[in-house]
Structure formats: structure tokens, C-alpha cells
Amino acid sequence: MSARGIRRVAMLSAHTSPLDQPGTGDAGGMNVYVLELSRQLAAHGVEVEVFTRATSRHLPPVVDAGDGIRVHHVAAGPFEGLTKDELPSQLCAFVRDVLRVEARHDPGYFDLVHSHYWLSGQVGTVLRERWGVPLVHSMHTMAKVKNAALASNDRPEPVGRVAGEEEIVRFADRLIANTAEERRELIDLYDADPSAVAVVHPGVDLGVFTGSVPDDEPPLIVFAGRIQPLKAPDVVLRASALIDVPHRVAIIGGPSGSGLDRPTELTDLARDLGIADRVEFVRPVTQAELAQWYSRAAVVCVPSHNESFGLVAIEAQACGTPVVAAAVGGLTTAVADGVTGTLVDGHDPADYAAAIRPYLADAAFRREAGAKAVHHAESFGWDVTAERTLDVYAAALRDRAVARKESR
């Protein structure tokens, strides 16, 4: 049991497992978030049971993912071939199996529910009522925000998601926002109660993302993330074509979302731009391997159209590598503009080329920014994230206790 009296949390990550490899499919920063937060909560004495949809018949029903962490693979719909857009139709089956797990134990087995992304939030609203426990929800991304900053060749989020998110905001006892900007968006766009929205920054594993190695020559630009229009990897390639300093580019990740519709788009683009000889496409890698790529890079580029936070930016900075990123969402918090990297308004490749070039051309300049980046990233450890999340849990439990007392 934690110092705050919290024994056990049901962590919901319905559409993607924290055990999946980030960087492809639906696996990304949220996977890292759920797993790392769970590890830190367990270190604080809180048992965490994560519920995620089984995507293979060969997955064991329960996996011990570390001391105090269990991952339940819930059977809900076809194991393979089900897209994220098709998952809402399977949420009833998901709820049923989560309820079955809880029913094997005495009442009050879980102290609260923490759901991640709107699909899990829909499940969380049911569990909240059934178990009589608080619901804490993390949006990670929001439909209204994504649709307002949609890439030209991307698909808008469906109206059903918007309605689902609005319902979660009404029912959740607490909402966790990654940044102050996300908190404002929840209040302004979703009419969230300001007193119910807490800002808790995601973290970075400072034991994995650390140190640096000598700069590669020619200098290296790294993009890491899912290959889809939202993440704008094409901007990195187009910017590279405009930079006159000798350099190389590594695009690390796999296709996801609408990017699955055009699996050869980036390789075709590199060829058409005449830069195929300087570009390396790398399949998703482990966290330790990713840290090595960051450390070798002269600069990491994050030109996303929207990011609720941008873990890639913090991870890269923890490795001593400056970041050039879009001035959107949580990236404006993750990157200290003009200190640890450069923020760029819009998505014009010429602007990114201008921002990236100094880091390639001037080794002393990038080393100075990299040293400041390490210091900046040190304040984003997962232990701090867990402490602040536990404070949110405790506040939700106190409110629920007061409400019960007043209803008697």
C-alpha cells in the first residue's frame, strides 16, 4: 500500500498494450507512458493491474510485467485484423471480461480506475459506476484538437469519438492533462470543470536515455515515431533536400493509422527528392537502441501536426541531443525554445531546413544546446510523474469519500 493509502489501481489501455513495441501500429508514446507509470506506482507500493485487448490467440491471459504489475489480455472481438476505428463495437465485450476479473475478488478490490485514451475512458465510466470507485482519465490526444490541426492527407477523427470524449469529461472524477495547454483545451473545448483537471507531465527513463557518444560524420538527423501524416515525417525529408550541409537522415518507425494506406510513400519521396542515398529507414527499435540513435544524432526532428506532449523530444534531450520541433501542443513544454532546441511555427520544409542547419554546421553550437538539453530533461523523471499522479488519485478518493458521507 502506498503512503497515500492506495492499494490497487485498474489501469485501462484498451486499444494498445504497454508490452507492445512502440513506433508501429497503434503503439507509441502512450504505451511507454502506461508501462513506466505502472512501474513507478508499483515502486511506491501500489499494485497495478493493466487491462488491454488481446491481439493474438497465443497471448497468455495474464502476464507479470514486474513486481506489482500484471497485464490482462482481454478477449474482445477478433484477435487479428481489428483496426482502432472498429474497436468501439467491441467495448461491451471488453467491459464484461474486466468485470469478471474483479468479480473473483472481494468487494473493493480496486481503489480506483485510471483510463488512457477515449476508448478506455468509455470502459472506465462503466466500471466507475459498477464498482463505486473514482475514475481518473488521461486523454493523451483529443479529437477536437487533432481535427483542428489535421495534415492535408490525413483522415479526421469521427464524430463518435468526439461524443465519447465529451461523455468521459462529464463522468470522470479527475482528468490528467500532460501540459497546461492541454488543460486549457479540456476546459475550453470540452467544458471540463477546472477544479477537476490536473497537470502532470509525462516522464523519461533517465537510466536508459542518458549520455552521448561522439558526433557521427557527416552529422545525422533523426526522426522517431509512427509513420503517419500526423507525425509529418515527410517534412524531415523535404527539409533535408533543402540543406546544403553534408548530412544523413534516419527515419525510425513503422506505418500506422492512415500511413498504412501508403506504405512506400516515404521511400518514394526520398527517391523523388534525390536524397535516397542519404536516408536510412529503420524498423522500430527497443528503448535502449533508440537511446543510441538519439545520442549519435546531431539533431532530432519532431515536426508533428499535434502532440499532447512529445516523449521523443524529452528522450532525445535526455541523451544530450537538441531538438527541432513543431510549436504545437506539448512540444512547447517539452522543448525550451532557443535553449535546448528550436520550435518552428507551421510545417513549411524551408523553415525546418533553416532551423536544422545550424545544428549540422556548427558542432560547438549543438554541443552547447545538448548540454542544456540534458539539464532540462532531468526535471521530467518518471518518479516525479508518479508522485504527482498519486496526488491526483488521493484527491479523487477524498472527494468520493466526502460525497458518500454527504449522501448518508
- Residue 28 pLDDT level (bands cut at 50, 70, 90): low
Query: What's the pLDDT at 259?
Result: 47
Bond from prior residue into 218 cis (ω within 30 degrees of 0): yes
Domains of the chain: 8-203+381-407 (3.40.50.2000), 220-380 (3.40.50.2000)
Would you say 207 is a known binding-site residue? no
Q: Any idea which of 86-95, 349-358, 370-379 has the lowest mean pLDDT? A: 86-95
Residue 240 confidence (pLDDT) above 80: yes
**Given a cut of 50, is residue 43 above it in pLDDT?**
yes
Tell me the mean pLDDT in the region 193-215.
89
Instruction: Report the candidate in 114, 21, 12, 101 with the shortest Cα–Cα distance to residue 53.
Output: 12
231 labeled part of a ligand binding site? yes
The answer to the question of whether 28 is labelled as a binding residue is yes
Does 226 appear as a known binding residue? yes
The response to whether 307 counts as a known ligand-binding position is yes
pLDDT band at residue 173 under the 50/70/90 scheme: very high
Per the annotation, does 26 bind a ligand? yes
Query: What cell was used for 384?
Result: 516525479
Neighbouring CB atoms inside 10 A of 37's CB total 24
* Mean pLDDT within 374-383: 93
Contact 212, 319 (CB under 8 A): yes
pLDDT > 70? residue 23: no
Is 77 a residue whose pLDDT tops 90? no
Ligand-binding site membership of 58 (annotated): no
CA pair distance 66, 166, nearest whole angstrom: 34
- 271 appears as a binding residue in the annotation: no
d(CA 269, CA 272): 5
Mean per-residue pLDDT over the chain, rounded = 91
**Cell of residue 112, nine digits:** 480506483
State residue 81's pLDDT score.
66
pLDDT tier for residue 260 given thresholds of 50, 70 and 90: low
Taken as a whole, the chain contains a residue count of 408
- C-alpha pair distances (Å), 33 with each of 70, 156, 249: 16, 25, 27
Confirm or deny that 146 is annotated as ligand binding. no
- Annotated binding-site residue? 15: yes
